[in-house]
Amino acid sequence: MTFFARLPFAVRVLATLALAWAAAAACVALDTPLPWMIGPLLATSLVSIAGGPTESWGPLRNAGQWTIGAALGLYFTPEVVALVGGLWWAIVLGIAWALLLGWLFGAWLYRVHAPRMHFVPAPMMRATSYFAGAIGAASEMTLLSEREGARTDLVAASHSLRLLIVTVTIPFALQWSGLHGLDILPPTLRVVSWPWLALMAVLTGAGALLMDRLGRANPWFMGAMLVSMALTVAGLSLSAVPQPLVNAAQLVIGVSLGVRFRADFLRTAPRWLASVAVGTLGLMAICAAFAGALAWATGLPWVTLLLGTSPGGITEMAITAKVLQLGVPVVSAFQVCRLIAVLMLVDPLYRRIYPPAAAGYGT
């Protein structure tokens, strides 16, 4: 056991937060996109891969998702809900598109790697490729893949790498392109009222705890956002969320993503990870084209639909939409509906497409 590994847990957490804050401050000075999330994410990832003693504390990550969820719910005014409701058909198309694209990505991973990875049984390789390609939450896809006998290390590594690439690439591309300031319906509430903020914290926290107790995906984000959304739709706009609190939330979320990468990450089937990286870039390009078609059909900004249909995580894409002012409600609606549908359908579809007797055979 190394000296760093023997450091107390609290010391490792505090050291990681200090590193993250320094990285965020540097990104602010450099005027990079999403400095409070991307800076900590990149710094923590690099130090983690180098073997540094990085650590994330679960309650801090939950608090960050809680804060972001409460802040995003403030965008859902009655006018916004009416707008999003009229896009139901586009959201359904987005769900079908995500399921199809994930299946094709998994099939491609299988074709590329099954002939080389003879040490992995065909059924295991099929399940690994399928769930690694699925466009869904990393933790949930890993758990589902475990039930189907997949190599969970490869599935988890695939989703972590894809999330890193999408989270870093899209904000930089959008900032450099100059496509920002297109938010169609910004939040109406911008004033912080501390007593009402405390009440909103209690209510959204209760929603997050309920979602957590029910075992739902992303409970601290989803529960808080749904309660905040319900209050806003009902006309009960209690308080804005202070920007420093939102920045801190982005920081701890960036840290929670960065610590997924450990010293042995790059040694985990390098060819597999290289294929995932190349495939992720391809997915982003294909999703950009699909977003263009939806933009033509709906009349909404292309960049808003790009974030809504991108193969990234809901929290990270919603933060990107909020910081770059690119249509938070639409992005959130697309991502939330896709997440729910994928979690419900991806495993039944796997069993339907690849029955146990045929798993590992065919395309």
Q: Residue 181 has what pLDDT?
A: 44
360 located within any domain: no
Long-range contacts of 144-147 (CB under 8 A, 24+ apart): 144/346, 144/347, 147/347
Q: Residue 210 has what pLDDT?
A: 95
- Mean pLDDT, residues 280-299 taken together: 94
Q: How far apart are CA 105 and CA 315, in angstroms?
A: 23
- Residue 324 DSSP class: T
Q: How far apart are CA 263 and CA 243, in angstroms?
A: 34
Least confident of 117-131, 194-208, 220-234, 243-257: 117-131
23 located within any domain: yes
- 310, 165 Cβ separation under 8 angstroms: no
Q: Residue 119 has what pLDDT?
A: 72
Q: Residue 329's closest CA among 84, 120, 117?
A: 84
Given pLDDT bands bounded at 50, 70 and 90, which one contains residue 2? low
C-alpha pair distances (Å), 219 with each of 45, 98, 148, 204, 205: 24, 22, 24, 11, 10
Most distant pair of Cα atoms in the chain: their distance: 62
Residue 217 has pLDDT above 90, yes or no: no
Given pLDDT bands bounded at 50, 70 and 90, which one contains residue 361? very low
- 318, 228 Cβ separation under 8 angstroms: no
Q: Residue 122 has what pLDDT?
A: 84
Q: Residue 1 has what pLDDT?
A: 43
Which letter, b or e, does each residue of 202-230 get, where b requires 16 or more Cβ atoms within 10 Å of its Cβ?
ebbbebbbebeeeeebbbbbbbbbbbbbe
- Mean pLDDT, residues 170-176 taken together: 84
- 228, 201 Cβ separation under 8 angstroms: no
Sign, CA dihedral 260-261-265-270, equals: positive
Q: How far apart are CA 23 and CA 29, in angstroms?
A: 10
Q: How far apart are CA 98 and CA 358, in angstroms?
A: 24
Given pLDDT bands bounded at 50, 70 and 90, which one contains residue 363? very low
> Count of residues for the chain?
363
- Residue 264 DSSP class: T
Q: How far apart are CA 65 and CA 249, in angstroms?
A: 7
Q: Residue 360 has what pLDDT?
A: 46
Q: Over the stretch 39-94, which tens digit does the pLDDT of each residue have? A: 999 999 999 999 888 999 999 999 999 999 999 888 888 877 888 888 899 999 99
- 361, 122 Cβ separation under 8 angstroms: yes
DSSP-H helix ranges across 178-269: 194-213, 219-233, 243-258
Least confident of 17-26, 58-67, 317-326: 317-326
**pTM of the complete model:** 0.84
147 located within any domain: yes
Q: Residue 184 has what pLDDT?
A: 52
Domain of residue 312, CATH code: 1.20.1530
361 located within any domain: no
Structure-token pair, residue 326 = 């690119």
Q: How far apart are CA 76 and CA 67, in angstroms?
A: 16
204 located within any domain: yes
Q: Over the stretch 254-276, which tens digit does the pLDDT of each residue have? A: 999 899 888 877 777 788 999 99
- Mean pLDDT, residues 198-209 taken together: 96
Long-range contacts of 259-263 (CB under 8 A, 24+ apart): 259/16, 259/44, 259/48, 259/54, 259/55, 259/56, 260/48, 260/156, 260/160, 261/45, 261/48, 261/49, 261/160, 261/164, 262/48, 262/49, 263/48, 263/49, 263/50, 263/51
Q: How far apart are CA 309 and CA 296, in angstroms?
A: 15
343 located within any domain: yes
Domain with 297 in it = 4-353
Given pLDDT bands bounded at 50, 70 and 90, which one contains residue 179? low
Q: Strand, coil or helix: what is 54?
A: coil
Of all residues in the chain, what percent carry a pLDDT higher than 70?
A: 93
Q: How many domains does the chain have?
A: 1
103 located within any domain: yes
105 located within any domain: yes
CB atoms within 10 A of CB 90: 22
